[in-house]
Amino acid sequence: MVSRVHSYHDDDAECELRLDTECCARKHHRRLLHASVSTILLHSDHTVQYVPDMDNIQLEIARTDPSTPFRATTHHTHYTWAKTFSSRPELYIQPQTLPEIQKVVNLARKCRRRIVVVGCGHSPSILTCTSSWMVNLDGYRRLLKVDRQKKTLLVEAGIRLRQLNDEANKVGLTIPNLGSIHDQSIAGAIATATHGSSLKHGLMSESVKSLRIVLANGQAVRCSSEQNQELFRAALVSLGALGIVVEVEYEMTDACNIEWTQSLETLSHVLDTWDSTLWASKEFTRVWWMPYMKRAIIWSAEKTSLPERAAESNFYGGAIGFHTYHNLLYLSNYVLAILPWVEWFVFGMQYGFRTGITTSAVEPLRSGLLMNCLYSQFVNEWALPLSKGPEVITRLSAWINGEGDQGRVPFSNKGLYVHCPIEVRVSDTSRNEPRPYLDNTSPDEATLYLNATLYRPYLRDPPCKDRYYEAFEWLMREVGAKPHYAKNWQFTSSEYIGEAFGENLKTWTKIRNEADPEGMFLGEWHRQAFGLGLGKEAPFALEERQVQTEPFKPGSCLFWKGELSASNGPAVAADEKRPLSSPTTKHAPESPSVASSSGESFDMMHGAEAEKSAMFTPSASEFEDEDDEGDETDRDEKRYHGNPKQGWDGTKVFDKM
């Protein structure tokens, strides 16, 4: 299809054009050239030459500063950790400096593309799926500054929690609280309200002292509780919808060991001690509830000066236990009724068949809080006031076990079997100021998290998922709970979310829409979660909507495909277009911005540090030519099937929950 015609009578231009075309064809044979339009060259001798596509993207890249690389590849496949979803972004971009990040944002605006930032893709939903541009900051994760007195580290936002702890440990500090793993990027963890389990701690974002974020107009803005507080509160839990978080100043605590103990108890013991000792006696406590046995493993830990001490080894705790449970779960996909027996056998083998059995160990805080999350899984976790815990657990237990009036849950549980454990954790954010607008925890009291895990043995979905989750979410809504963003909730409407977050969602939306008026950072997940709460019924110009999800491969994940709502022609006038130039070419004229300047649009930035944007500095493209088969974790199959970590006698799987 011929959609634009350019006349060039200049030999140099033709020469450059051919050069570049060859180069592009070699490096980017798949999509950039293939998917778009053609250009016609009229030579000075009046011959006509059809030139393979000079994509709008390449045109825009040619106008930017060649000294700032644009590190993009065109054939990346993105997977969530649990292999629940995958997508193929048009471009996968891994910038390494702030100007490179700003260049990406400015180019996306001009090329009319949505941007999704991805950490390590541990959120199991379509939150990080896109067919547009995916930005990953794995190459942007340096330590920038240590303040030993304030116990803070300033880091580039792509840093993973594990590496952040490495840096902190070098100066005698450590992250004060962690969830079950430390693989996440710091930006990804705070963006989704990630939490651990402790009444002495809140969300991981509570330790963020300041942030720097690149907004849709390409400007990098600092914010904190003192500076630009509204933006700070919106960015503390932003779901990737506000801009690209590029720096995080994080408060640490002194590095230390923790001594943990775990014991098998009855569910009634858990409920009886709920308001007294269960959560309050140690700094860290979490509970694994076994719904059919009506028992629970209580794991708790306290800081200690004792030297490290390993947990007692159990022949079953390594690969044997890991593979046994995996295969029994697989079998239960076909013979559902074995699940209560599987729970009894697997957890009995590891933690004992009678209550009161205790294990303990001493580990550094940085690793002691972690656990092995086993296999690919669905997770459906909700936050509710801690005081409602006993009632909710009692009702859910009655429903799962088909007792009495079945917990007053209006869904049939006939033939329904669930997996173990149901995770029971806590946090307390009630003393925190300022709070993130999208904080899903209870503002007035401590918060309980209930997580209905369903494993996907060998990536096969368990048959009862939909009915279980529909009933579970109904019960959660009945008690006014709010979902954990980075989980698989699916039966809850955006109206409920709108009501649950009320004025806070409205304020977050106002700030978001001011910072990103065209919806460059918005996608289907945000629309499904917030609906009209996004402040606009019609899609934003750059908002990405779902076209389809389809099975990728049997036993694998759903392939997600999106499209941008607006027709996404270039942001430049037709007569300004010109073919892509080689890096040596003189710079083309700048294309007009479609975003407002900071003074016009981003009121919340007044008084904030807003560096001069790198936008409109003319340049040339720098696509990388090596094949991109996905980042290191994408390629590591072990991450989907879990990882026994140690050999047959290993203890690192079930040794602690």
Ligand X SMILES: Cc1cc2nc3c(=O)[nH]c(=O)nc-3n(C[C@H](O)[C@H](O)[C@H](O)COP(=O)(O)OP(=O)(O)OC[C@H]3O[C@@H](n4cnc5c(N)ncnc54)[C@H](O)[C@@H]3O)c2cc1C
The binding site for ligand X (CB under 6 A) comprises: 81, 116-123, 127-128, 137, 157, 179-181, 184-185, 187-189, 191-192, 194-195, 238-240, 244-245, 373, 484, 486
Nearest distance, CB of residue 525 and ligand X, angstroms: 8
Burial of 27 (0-12, 13-18, 19+ CB in 10 A): middle
- Bridge partners of 85, per DSSP, are 558
Q: How far is the CB of 128 from ligand X (least distance, A)?
A: 5
> Of 117 and 208, which has the nearer Cβ to ligand X?
117
Q: Angle at which helices 389-401 and 465-478 pack, to 10 degrees? A: 150
Contacts (Cβ under 8 Å, ≥6 apart) of 395: 407, 408, 409, 475
Query: Closest residue (Cβ) to ligand X?
Result: 119
Q: Return the number of the residue (28 or 141) whose C-beta is nearest ligand X.
A: 141
Categorise residue 374: left if φ over 0, alpha if ψ from -120 to 50, beta otherwise: left
Cβ-based nearer residue to ligand X, 81 or 133: 81
Cβ at position 235, least distance to ligand X in Å: 8
CB of 140 to ligand X, least distance (A): 8
Minimum Å gap between C-beta 286 and ligand X is 9
Contacts of 299 (CB under 8 A, 6+ apart): 260, 261, 262, 285, 286, 287, 288, 656, 657
Distance CA 446, CA 151 (A): 26
Q: φ and ψ at 301, to 5 degrees?
A: -150, 150
Minimal distance, residue 367 CB to ligand X, in Å = 14
Distance in Å, CB of 106 to ligand X, minimum: 16
Nearer to ligand X, 181 or 420 (CB): 181
Distance from chain centroid for Cα 191: 7
Measured from the CB atom, is 488 or 617 closer to ligand X? 488
* Residue with smaller CB distance to ligand X, 60 or 247: 247
Its sign, for the CA torsion 523, 528, 534, 539, is positive
Written as six digits, the tokens of 504 are 């806070």
**What sign does the CA torsion over 374, 376, 377, 382 have?**
positive
Residue 217 per-residue DSSP state: T
Q: What is the smallest separation between the CB atom of 271 and ligand X, expressed in angstroms? A: 23
- Closest distance to ligand X from the beta carbon of 484 (Å): 6
Closest alpha carbon to 25 in 48, 58, 61: 58
CB nearer to ligand X: give 395 or 639: 639
Q: Rank residues 121 and 340 by Cβ distance to ligand X and give the closer one.
A: 121
Fill in the DSSP letter of residue 195.
B
**Cβ–Cβ under 8 Å, residues 184 and 173:** no
SS (H, E, C) 114-162: CEEEECCCCCCCHHHCCCCEEEECCCCCCEEEEECCCCEEEEECCCEHH
- Cβ-based nearer residue to ligand X, 106 or 194: 194
Residue with tokens 């879990």: 642
Residue 134 token pair: 């995916």
If the CB atoms of residues 33 and 438 are measured against ligand X, the closer one turns out to be 438
Output the smallest distance, CB 644 to ligand X, in A: 15
